[in-house]
Structure 1
């Protein structure tokens, strides 16, 4: 989209009406709130559903396999954002992508709510992966569209939007997690489906008055001739994949271990190709190429951060279930509740960070420095969690306050990096790849979880000090390196902060 088109979109959106921000932020805030309620509610109980015995309502899968599946699933959820971003940029725009994605997510949760087999489990995963790929990057892209390029409210707006994400993430483990672990997993998944339905209702009823033209324009539409070629290639590609799988699976040449490795390769290869294509595109200007170069170290930092943060639903979920004292202060704690800690801290501190950035104005840290702070805090969060083993040994149950402190420390890093990363992506994105650039941002999470699928296999209670310590130290070292590189990275942003 041209600068003139972007300004036309901004002018079509009521610029005041929700906490001093554009009125459209209300629609996007609550749409994402309910989508995240459904997603994080499902995720709070999913790993337990996989490895709990059938007699306890689970699928009875191997524990290590369940942790790897959880990471691969998370990776594919964010990797599918490539499809969602491309469809939005080239075919039907971001608004329709959000609506279609919500429908797929809702049906994915409905399938999970039906007692069944491992086959139904994987069907639901496919629906949720595709649906999240359509909705997640595009709803964030619309947030960027409702602000002018130099609107100082942008970072604060993304922080408020991020608070909506985490409000849904806070409530869902308490509601869905309690129902799922105490009563029935499928009841929990059904509540997640209801949450996505409510998000669709809010989006459909309020988008016309609140969002104006935001999300309705296709940034780089396919011509009729291009559309025919693309659909033909996609169809042939799908047929080829089906034929190959039909041959190699019966021959035993394609196992889950092979699939994990393949996703790991794709997690690194796909974003690399994205950077190359955007940089070399004839639609990318010289200024935009410079900004792409500035984005690369931020992307690498994001991969490291999410590799730590996303282990909250795998390693730390298992840690809460088996290594933590769950009878504390006279109450029995559900292991799913710990996944509310991260969003709870974000809810509390997100407004403070938003206020801080607005208050500092031009004096606030640059984007690269904020990313570096994110790495430092996330590394410290893993160093915190190794301390109980150091003091009490690997065999003893851990006071739950250690987990609380670890989550809190990581959240400080998240607030420095994640909402700022969303905002930076909308600033640094080439105009012809606007929605796809948001998909690229989420690919950092996909890459992180693809890596996690490999490394979670090395975690055991016996070696947890080495596991948490090595990952934490690597993150801290990368944080200091990024601080040193910050002035150079900032210079490539060509005037943006």
Structure 2
């Protein structure tokens, strides 16, 4: 997108009206609030729904398989973001992508809310994967469009936006988790569907007044001839997929195990190919190529971070259910409630970090150093959670405060890395690939969860010390490397701070 177009979008957005930030931040804040309420409400009970017995309202899957499916599902959710980014950049813009994505997500949760078979479960997964791929990268990209490139409010704006994400994420496990675990899983999924509906209503009724031209421009539109080719290719691919699935499932070639391997390969291959494609594109300038090189180590660091953070809804969710003392201080704790710890700590600390970056101004750590701090805290969070087994053994139930401490430490890292990564992505993105680069950022989480799907099978109470120790140690090592090479990476950013 040309600099002139970017400036035109900024000028169309009311620049004051939401805590000293552009008015459009209100619309995107609450749209994402309800989308995250919807998504994380569903996610808080999904793994339990998969491995709880039929008599308890679940699907009765094997526990290790449920954890792996949860990881590949998370990977596919973020992997689909590359499709959503491409559609926004080439066909209909970010605003329409957000709206269409919200509709698909809502339908996916409605499918989960209907008591039925395994088939309905997979239909819902497909709808939610596609819907989140459309909505998630594009709503974040629109936040970046509200600010000029050198607006010092940008990082703080993303931190406020990130707090909105986590307000929804905090309430969802407490409401959806309680209803789903104590009453009925399907009723819980129904509440998640209502949440997405509310997000769509807010977006529709406030976008014209608050967002101006943000999300309406198509960065690199397809010509009519190109559109015909795209539609034809989509049709061919869809038919091929149906044929492949129809043949391989009866033959036993396409199984959960083989799907886990396929997603693992795609999780690494897709972002690699995308980096190569953007770097070699004639629409990418020499300065943008240098910034892409700087983005690569940040992307690798993000993969390592999310590989730890995302296990909060798989390994640590299972740990809460099976290894934690749930009767504590006179109350019975639902294992789903632990999913609220991460967003709760972010709600408390996000304003502190937003204030800190503004207060430090030019003296704040560089982007690579913030990423290094993020990895440091992520590694420590896993080293902390191995201590209960060291002191008490693998059979004793663990005091829930150990889990609370682990979630708290990883949040310190998340606030160093995640909102900063969103902001850095909008700054380092090549102009012709603005929405697609935001999709690439979310592919770091896709790659992380694709890797997690391969490694969760190694976790058990007997191996948990080695499991947490090895992963936490690797994160600490990468943190040290990133601290060491931060000045070099900063140089490749060509003036981006």
TM-score normalised to structure 1 length: 1.00
Counterpart-to-counterpart distance in 2, 1:401 and 1:116:
37
Counterpart in the other structure of 2:122: 122
Pair 1:419-2:435 in alignment: no
Q: Report the counterpart of residue 325 of structure 1 in structure 2.
A: 325
Q: How many residues align?
A: 497
Q: How many angstroms does 1:254 deviate by?
A: 1.9
Partner of 1:138: 138
Q: How does 1:292-441 map to 2 (within 5 A)?
A: 292-441=292-441
Matches of 2:83 and 2:195 in 1, distance apart? 24
**Which residue matches 2:87?**
87
Q: How far 1:247 sits from its partner (Å)?
A: 2.1
Distance 2:152 2:122 in 1: 44
Moved more, 251-260 or 203-212: 251-260
- Alignment partner of 1:285 is 2:285: yes
- Give the Å deviation of 1:244: 2.2
**Once the two structures are superposed, what CA deviation does each residue of 1:292-332 show, in whole Å capped at 9, x if it has no partner?**
00000000000000000000000000000010000000000
Q: Distance in 2 between matches of 1:491 and 1:475?
A: 24
Mapped to 1, the partners of 2:68 and 2:325 lie a distance apart of 25
Task: Please report how far the alpha carbon of residue 236 of structure 1 lies from its aligned counterpart in structure 2 after TM superposition.
Answer: 1.1
Considering only aligned residues, what root-mean-square deviation do their CA atoms show, in Å?
A: 0.5
Task: State the match for 2:256 in structure 1.
Answer: 256
Which moved further from structure 2: 332-341 or 236-245? Answer: 236-245
CA shift at 1:249, angstroms?
Answer: 2.0
Query: Matched residues in 1 for 2:204 and 2:245: separation?
Result: 39
Partner of 1:179: 179
Measured after TM superposition, the shift of residue 144 of structure 1 is 0.2
Shift of 1:230: 1.4
Aligned mates of 1:390, 1:246 — CA distance in 2: 49
Q: Which residue of 2 aligns with 1:225?
A: 225
Cα separation, 2, equivalents of 1:38 and 1:140 = 17
Structure 2 counterpart SS, 1:39: helix
Is residue 54 of structure 1 aligned with residue 63 of structure 2?
no
TM-score, normalised by the number of residues in structure 2: 1.00
Tell whether 2:481 aligns with 1:481.
Answer: yes
In structure 1, distance between residues paired with 2:234 and 2:371: 37
For 1:93 and 1:124, the matched residues in 2 are separated by: 25
User: Which residue matches 1:454?
Assistant: 454
C-alpha distance in structure 2 between counterparts of 1:244 and 1:138, whole Å? 31
Cα deviation digits, residues 107-155 of structure 1 (max 9, x gap): 1000100111111001000000000000000000000000000000000
Gaps of 5+ in 1: none
Deviation per CA, 1:427-481, whole angstroms, max 9, x where unpaired? 0000100000000000000000000000000000011000000000000000010
Q: Distance in 1 between matches of 2:242 and 2:41?
A: 32
Give the CA deviation at 1:242. Answer: 1.9
Deviation at 1:238, TM superposition (A): 1.6
- Say which SS state the counterpart of residue 213 (structure 1) adopts: coil
Instruction: Structure 2: state its 5+ residue gaps.
Output: none
Q: CA deviation at 1:192?
A: 0.3
Q: Is 1:13 matched with 2:34?
A: no
Summarize deviations over 1:69-116 as a string: whole Å, max 9, x none: 000000000000011000000000000000000000001000100111
Equivalent-residue separation in structure 1 for 2:62 and 2:463 (angstroms): 19
Q: How far did residue 345 of structure 1 move?
A: 0.1
- CA distance in structure 1 between the partners assigned to 2:87 and 2:15 by the alignment: 28
